Amino acid sequence: MAKTYTYCAENIAENSIDKMRFELGDTMTEGGADTCVLCDEEYAAILAQCKTWQKAKINCLKAIVMKLCYEVDYKVDNMSLSLSDRYKHFKAMLDELEKKQQASSFALKTTNTNETKPYFYLGMQENPKAW
């Protein structure tokens, strides 16, 4: 099965491969595997597995990071290629997105309406018997 690399900017309004490519910056499809990190089939498989867009984006970033973690920097005489910079870029995006997801899941857990008293409260460490 041949890998395909397509991008149409007109389709970024819908949750599709094109929108994922746009949000991750993987839009240079002219060079195929030389310029794109993931192919259309990989994006489609990840999007089909995940229920939410945020989770799909995190899984795409994890796949990209795993693919790029093996690339190393080259230096021959005056020529140098810093291939590890792509890894650092996508790893930073993944870390930021995971932090946002953890913060939002924490906010959802703390907004429980059945909770009568917050876990942390003013004066909780004061010991009246010690006085």
pTM: 0.72
Amino acid at 77: D
pLDDT in tens, the chain (131 residues): 789 999 999 989 999 999 999 999 989 988 888 888 999 999 999 999 999 999 999 999 999 999 998 888 888 999 988 888 889 999 999 999 999 888 777 665 655 556 566 677 777 788 877 76
Burial state string for 88-123 with b = 16 or more CB within 10 A and e = fewer than 16: eebbebbeeeeeeeeeeeeeeeeeeeeeeeeeeeee
